[in-house]
Amino acid sequence: MKNRPPYALGSVDNALLILHMLRDRGRVKVTDVAGELGIARSTAHRLLAMLVYRNFAVQDEQHTYLPGPFLASAPPTPGGPALRELRARTRPAMEALCTRIMETVNLMVRVGTEVRFLDSVESTQPLHVTDRRGTILPAHLASGGKVLLAALPEEHLWELYPDLTEAERATLIRELDEARVLGHALNVEGTEQGVAAIGAALRNGRGNPVGALSISVPMARFCLERVGPYIWELHQAVAEAEQALIDFPG
């Protein structure tokens, strides 16, 4: 028998109850949440907005909320890397990179056709890309996802994407070929308007990819003069992080 914690946080409890509603009903509206939980519509809207931000919910054209990609996506496989250990080992290199370039730095892993952001070191500049922890993006569009897909054998790649059109397949082949040659990939407003990113794979001592680092930059600062230095600094950070990943499983 579970007892309610003596110092329960109402907002946290309400957010968790909304997740139950999304799971059980499949779709909810602000009025549904407000009525069910006995809270103001404005409070319900703020809670739902935060769940959307963290990918637990999505909003459709009718202003109805549905389960988001985080609830629908598959969990990492049991034989995959120890995610907590991966964060701990890469964090120093991420913090150093953020200090050098003053842009937000992210760590992600691929799960099927998606990438999950495990960690972020957020820029302190007034205009910056915010913390991406918990975000889930299509791997073939995200910069870190592209470099991780580029490391796959061709037959495995097409098992993941069996339904691509000829044009989509040609585009993906070209982008992954470029990522293999250059060692990094770009995402220029491919997943979010106003945001560009550069990603590079992280490998352990056996040369196996275990994740990716990316730099997220507001488009207002993403210009040709800056791209070269961003790429150089990213590769430096990858080299630093990989020193800590030599014996990492994967």
Cα(116)–Cα(107) distance, rounded to whole angstroms? 8
Q: What is the pLDDT of residues 145-170, one digit of tens each?
A: 999 999 999 888 999 999 989 999 99
DSSP string, the chain: -PPPPTT--HHHHHHHHHHHHHHHHS-B-HHHHHHHHT--HHHHHHHHHHHHHTTSEEE-TTS-EEE-HHHHSPPPPTTS--HHHHHHHHHHHHHHHHHHH-SEEEEEEEETTEEEEEEEE---SSS-PPP-TT-EEETTTSHHHHHHHHTS-HHHHHHH-TT--HHHHHHHHHHHHHHHHHS-EEEESSSSTTEEEEEEEEE-TTS-EEEEEEEEEEGGG--HHHHHHHHHHHHHHHHHHHHT-TT---
Cα(142)–Cα(211) distance, rounded to whole angstroms? 13
pLDDT surpassing 80 at residue 23: no
Least confident range from 78-82, 90-94, 185-189: namely: 78-82
Can you give the pLDDT at residue 69?
76
Can you give the pLDDT at residue 198?
98
Cα(244)–Cα(215) distance, rounded to whole angstroms? 20
Contact 188, 182 (CB under 8 A): no
Residue 20: phi and psi, rounded to 5, are: -60, -45
Q: Which domains does the chain have, with CATH numbers?
A: 10-72 (1.10.10.10), 83-243 (3.30.450.40)
166 vs 135, more confident: 166
Q: What is the pLDDT of residues 187-238, one digit of tens each?
A: 999 999 999 999 999 999 999 999 999 999 999 999 888 999 999 999 999 9
Contact 210, 190 (CB under 8 A): no
Contact 113, 139 (CB under 8 A): yes
